[in-house]
Structure 1
Amino acid sequence: MRVVIIGAGEVGTSIAANLSSDHDVVVIEEDETRAEQLKFELDVLAIAGDGTSLETQEDAGVDGADMFIACTDDDRTNLVACGTAKTLGEPFTIARVKSIEYLRTWERKHGAFGADHVVCSDLLTAENIVRVIGLPTAIDLDLFVGGLVHMAEFEVVEGSPVAGQTVAEADRFDSLTFAGLFCGDDLVIPDGETVIETGNRAVVIGSPESVRAFGTDIAPDDTTRQTNDVVIAGGTEIGYHTARLLEEQSTKPRLIEADEGRARELAEELPNSVVMQHDATDTDFLAREHVDESDVMIAAMNSDERNLLVAVLAKRLGVKRVIAVVDNTEYVTLFEEVGIDVAINPRDVTAEDITRFSFENVAENLAVLENDQAEVLELQIDADSALAGKTIRELDAELDGRFVVGAITREGSLITPRGDTEIRAGDKVVIFVESEFADELMAAA
């Protein structure tokens, strides 16, 4: 497949890296220095130029492209680029936008702006935050097979009941699969005798009920109360959408916004939220408002530095769980190292969502974990699939890469995979796989 990408920022580079091994990828980047760097970093053709220009797109061969992805940081550039691409050929066009207004316009008539699909970064990030809030101990949560299967990542904190247990001892749920362990920078595909240690990050796949039960098992003190009291620092679009989505779930969040005009606007748009006009970095204010008693604090301001400050202050005050929006991918590790529970990067969320479309012919859904060390794939098994008719034990012997079959759904029912479970045509299979082996596995499927 020929893919043309506009923009070589963090989102564009991540998408290009994911696609370059199996597809013919061309990247158009306005910055000549960055375009030259990309030629050496990735196996792609990089062209320096304006992605909205007809001439530049002709040079990139957009007329013969199968997919066109516009993912610069400027909404209008992305939409205009998609419109230009449609004048040259019939690629499937994807536009990344931050403003939900463009998304709402596109939803009224798919194909508006010349875009076949529009991805709203701020909304995706807010949805990600709300999913993580819904499972109090998780640091990541993705839904597969229409929500029938959940994949969650948990950190094993000091004092956790499962610390020191083997996987066999910790895996006490019928519809749950212990898929992987991240031990520092190392990925471990566990067996029953693998010992879970403090600081590990455990990935489990199974029914929503079993994943939630495991979350309770891993940190029972954190799940004895419901997440009702949520404080959001920052009336950004991400902060606003997070509050709106929480309202839809009958939660009444508190939102702190320093700008008087923006605070007034939010108060009108969020009837079931308490909007407070104040500086979220004011420790006395946070103490006065009993923020320390909240279940979750979300730092969602426009500055990574201010988000870090608010998150650290919240932790010092005693907030049990702190989630921070981190715009710069390189800062994610820093936030985690200073004790912030969950750091969510909008660019990573957006790149992952867009990448799903490039794999839709073999993988219906996709999640990327731990800086692209591993992926979770949802595969539809057809009659001609190399996986059909094989037991999991047979596949494990035949395939060289490291993978775990996490769940199988058959005719709407969930099947917990075991060694003698046979994969059949028509099944949907959710697989945890080492990233470097993901392409080979999808090719087999």
Structure 2
Amino acid sequence: MYVLIVGAGQVGRTIAANLERSHEVAVVERDPRIAEDVTYAHDVLTVTGDGTALETLREAGLERADMIVACTDAGKTNLVVCGTAKTATDAFTIARVRRHTMLETWEGAEGAFGVDFMICTDLLVARKIVHLSGFPRAQDVETFAGGLVRMAEFEVGPESPLVGRRVRDSDQYGSVTFTGVFRDEELLVARGETRFEDGDRIVVVGDAESVGEFGIANVPEGAASTDDVVIVGGSEIGYQTAREFEFHGFEPRLIERDRDRARELAEALPGALVVEGDATDAEFLARERVDEADLVVAALDSDGMNLLVSLLARRIGANRTVAIIDNTEYVDLFEIVGIDVAVNPREETAEEIVRFTRTDRTEKIAMLEHDRAEVVEIELDPESALTGRRIDESVADLPGGVVVAAISRGGRLVVPRGETVPQPGDHAVLFVDAAVLDEVSAAV
């Protein structure tokens, strides 16, 4: 597949890095310095120029492109790129936007803007946060197989009963499959003899109930449920997050400093309590009982302010904090200093776009730990290396970094074990070390 990416910011570069081994990739970037960096860092064709100009797109290979990804930081620019591209090609176009109003317009008018698929970053992030709230002890959560399967990442603390135990001795949580362990900079594919240590980040896959029970039993810190949600910041992400919580039956509290914006949000969010105030004031937070919150979401327009608010919330007693972080390089730092979960909108967007570049049988992907591993849902066909054979036999013929984590068969969850035989049409959820992803994808 020939993929033409317009915009070499964090989203564009993440997509290019993910695709360069398995696809032909061209990147269009307006800034000459950034374009030069991309040229040296990635095995892609780089064109310096304006991606809204047909001449620039043609220089980057527009006529032979199978897919065009417009992912600059400006949503309107991305729409123009797609519209321009459609004047000369029938390639599949993807546009990244920030505001949900653009998404609603596109959904209401088939083929609008020349966009085949539109990704609203703020809505993606909001839904991610709501998914995380359903597993109060998880650092990352994704849903597969139409909601039948959950993937969750948990950090093992010193008080966890898992410390010192082997995987084979911990297999007691219904449908849960242990898939991978991130230990400092090392990735361990979970095997029966793998022994857990304090500080490990464990990835498990199973149905929602079993994964939730696993988290409660083995990650004892924090609340067991999320009922009281406080959102700090009436940014577009803050608004979308409050709206998503409303949709799922919550009554979130939203704190906004600007009076006019707070009034606007109060009218738009009838199921939320909107409070005008400064969330960097510890006394204000105490008066508003933020210390009693199960979850505090810092959704201001500044990484530094989100860090400050999150630390203040934890200091006065809030159970769990989620911070929106624009700079990818800060994500690990924020979690090191005590933020429970840092969500990067650009990483979420890149992950969603990459899914469209995979084979037709790839239903969904989740990138873990900055794409050191992926959880992939694939529909198996008769030619798959997994089909018609026991899992313990077929996996032995695959590269060492893969685990069959779950199987959906006719809307029913099949817990995979060594003797399980996958069938054509099954949806298999796989944990795969990114280093062997291309080999595994070709085989299954």
TM exceeding 0.5: yes
Residue 415 (structure 1) aligns with: 414
Is residue 323 from structure 1 mapped to residue 317 from structure 2 by the alignment? no
Query: How far off its partner does 1:360 sit?
Result: 4.5
- Partner in structure 2 of residue 11 of structure 1: 11
Match of residue 198 from structure 2: 198
Residue 38 (structure 2) aligns with: 38
Query: What is the match of residue 386 of structure 1?
Result: 385
Residue ranges of structure 1 left out of the alignment (5+ in a row)? none
- State the match for 2:272 in structure 1: 273
8 A contact 1:139–1:155 mirrored in 2: yes
User: Distance between the aligned counterparts of 1:37 and 1:123, measured in 2?
Assistant: 30
- The amino acid that maps onto 1:313 is L
The residue that corresponds to 1:252 in the other structure is 251
Shift of 1:221: 5.7
Q: Which residue of 2 aligns with 1:399?
A: 398
Q: 1:182 touches 1:201 (CA, 8 Å); kept in 2?
A: yes
Alignment of 1:137-286 (within 5 A): 137-220=137-220, 222-224=222-224, 226-286=225-285
- Structure 1: distance between partners of 2:95 and 2:282: 40
Q: Give, as a single letter, the amino acid of the residue that structure 2 aligns with 1:139.
A: Q
Counterpart code for 1:263: A
Aligned to 2:344: 345
TM-score by length of 1: 0.98
Please, which runs of 5 or more residues in structure 2 have no aligned partner?
Answer: none
Q: SS of the counterpart of 2:160?
A: coil
- The answer (yes or no) to whether the contact 1:10–1:347 under 8 Å persists in 2 is yes
Displacement of 1:114: 0.3
Of stretches 168-177 and 51-60 in structure 1, the one that deviates more from structure 2 is: 168-177
Query: What is aligned with 1:293?
Result: 292
Counterparts of 1:362 and 1:35 in 2: how far apart (Å)? 33
The 2-side partners of 1:422 and 1:223 are apart by 39
In the alignment, which residue of structure 2 is the partner of 1:111?
Answer: 111
SS of corresponding position for 1:302: coil
Alignment partners' CA distance in 2, 1:232 and 1:290: 13
Deviation at 1:220, TM superposition (A): 4.3
The answer on whether the counterparts of 1:121 and 1:349 sit within 8 Å (CA) in structure 2 is: yes
Q: Distance in 1 between matches of 2:34 and 2:342?
A: 27
Once residues 158 and 244 of structure 1 are traced to their aligned partners in structure 2, the CA distance between those partners, rounded to angstroms, is 37
Q: Is the 8 A contact 1:110 1:117 kept in 2?
A: no
Deviation at 1:250, TM superposition (A): 1.6
Describe the SS at the equivalent of 1:102. helix
State the alpha-carbon separation in 1 of the partners of residues 312 and 158 from structure 2.
22
Q: Are the equivalent residues in 1 in contact too, given 2:35–2:46 (CA < 8 A)?
A: yes
Give the CA deviation at 1:176. Answer: 1.3
Once the two structures are superposed, residues 315-336 of structure 1 have per-residue CA deviations (whole angstroms, 9 ceiling, x without a partner) of 1111111110000001111101
Aligned residues, how many?
Answer: 444
User: For the residues of structure 1 that align with 2:86 and 2:96, how far apart are their CA atoms?
Assistant: 16
1:351-407 Cα distance to aligned partner (Å, 9 max, x none): 000111111413111000011110001011111223222221112321223111001
2:47 aligned with 1:56: no
Question: 2:141 touches 2:152 (CA, 8 Å); kept in 1?
Answer: yes
Q: 1:388-437, CA deviations, whole angstroms, 9 ceiling, x for partnerless residues?
A: 22221112321223111001111221111111211221111000010011
Contact 1:216 1:222 in 2 (8 A): no
What's the counterpart of residue 430 of structure 1? Answer: 429
Amino acid at match of 1:433: V
Q: Secondary structure at the match of 1:256?
A: strand
The equivalent residue for 1:82 is 82
Corresponding residue for residue 96 of structure 2 = 96
Q: Distance in 2 between matches of 1:189 and 1:3?
A: 31
Specify the SS of the correspondent of 2:387: coil
Structure 2 match to 1:334: 333
- Partner amino acid for 2:408? T
In structure 2, give the amino acid aligned to 1:254: R
Equivalent-residue separation in structure 2 for 1:115 and 1:305 (angstroms): 35
Cα deviation 1:6-45 (Å, max 9, x = unaligned)? 0000000000111111111000000111111111101100
The answer to whether the Cα contact below 8 Å between 1:111 and 1:117 also exists between their aligned partners in 2 is no
| 1:26-67 alpha-carbon deviations (Å, 9 max, x no partner) | 000001111111111011000000000011011111122100
In the TM superposition, residue 158 of structure 1 has moved relative to its aligned partner by 2.7
> SS state of the match for residue 228, structure 1?
coil
Query: CA offset at residue 441 of structure 1?
Result: 0.9
Q: Is the 8 A contact 1:326 1:332 kept in 2?
A: yes
| Greater displacement, 387-396 / 8-17 | 387-396
What is residue 359 of structure 1 aligned with on the other side?
358
